[in-house]
Amino acid sequence: MKYLLSATGLQILESLSFTRTLYAFDFDGTLAPIVSKPELAQASKESTRLLNELARLATVAIISGRSVADLRTRVSLPGNHLIGNHGLEGLGVRKEAVGKAEASCRDWLGQLKNSWAALDGDAGVFVEDKTYSLALHYRRSRNKRRAKLELFSLIEKLDPAPRLILGKCVMNLLPAGGPHKGVALLETMMKLNLKCAFYIGDDDTDEDVFTLPDSRIISARVGQKKSSQAQFYLKRQSEMNRLLRILIRANGGK
């Protein structure tokens, strides 16, 4: 993993502007700082302004675990390339998969409600219903370790068995066999007829993009992590505006 704002990283970022490139971003922890209550996550005014400026010059997409409806309340993007629920919602919507995902989520919600007592009144654990996927948050739990173990044992019993993607103090439940962020990125590139892509994210869910065996994709992670498969990293989320300014300049903006 190399620092994205190093000489090599900057050279790669510039070379992306010579061809039709998709600039794709995760939302939480990438465009917006991580906050204790996910409903309060917001990109700064400057980040939003810069993102819109970049979207005027190149193709920009946001690929998030949030639902598209939720993303729309947090960010406005020219071209409206918002991809939600880890790829289930967005450009390449498959009606059958979406219907199946919604039914699975309803099933899981019912089952979780019945067994929620196992968490013994831990007020810091809650379910976020994203219609086509569920997110079980435990960031606000006073005993995160215990909460995580209890959630694992609840998830184990769910039928149909979900695909589990671990995030930062969150467990994402998606229908098995559904798309992931990597599939969403490739589909977006294909549908928009783009030659290559730059993707930046901060979480384990973004590893689905980082591990794609596709040399057309340049990947970066917010925060250095040895086990990550991303090629580059930013030291912290607060460097995002600097990155956006570099991309804008490379694409002919000011």
Which positions lie near other proteins, rule CB under 8 A?
Answer: 1-2, 7-9, 11-12, 14-16, 18-19, 195-196, 215-216, 218, 229, 231-232
Shortest CB 245 distance to other proteins, Å: 18
- CB-wise, 218 or 234, nearer to other proteins? 218
Name which of 68, 70, 129 is nearest 104 in CA terms: 129
Shortest CB 31 distance to other proteins, Å: 23
DSSP assignments along 167-196, one per residue = ETTEEEEEETT---HHHHHHHHHHHTT-SE
- CB-wise, 4 or 165, nearer to other proteins? 4
- CB-wise, 191 or 195, nearer to other proteins? 195
Contact criterion met (CB below 8 Å) for 199 and 178:
no
Q: How many CB atoms lie within 10 A of CB 72?
A: 14
- CB-wise, 19 or 114, nearer to other proteins? 19
- CB-wise, 89 or 202, nearer to other proteins? 202
Shortest CB 232 distance to other proteins, Å: 6
Shortest CB 199 distance to other proteins, Å: 13
As a residue count, the chain comes to: 254
Query: Is 199 exposed, middle or buried, given 0-12, 13-18 or 19+ CB atoms closer than 10 A?
Result: buried
Structure tokens at 159: 């039928």
Half-sphere exposure of 198 (CA within 13 A, CB side): 24
Shortest CB 9 distance to other proteins, Å: 8
- CB-wise, 1 or 246, nearer to other proteins? 1
Query: What distances in angstroms separate CA 27 from CA 8, 64, 67, 102, 159, one per listed residue?
Result: 25, 6, 11, 22, 30
**d(Cα 209, Cα 230) in Å, to the nearest integer?**
8
Shortest CB 165 distance to other proteins, Å: 22
- CB-wise, 13 or 240, nearer to other proteins? 13
Residue 134: which H helix or E strand, with range?
strand 134-137
Shortest CB 172 distance to other proteins, Å: 26
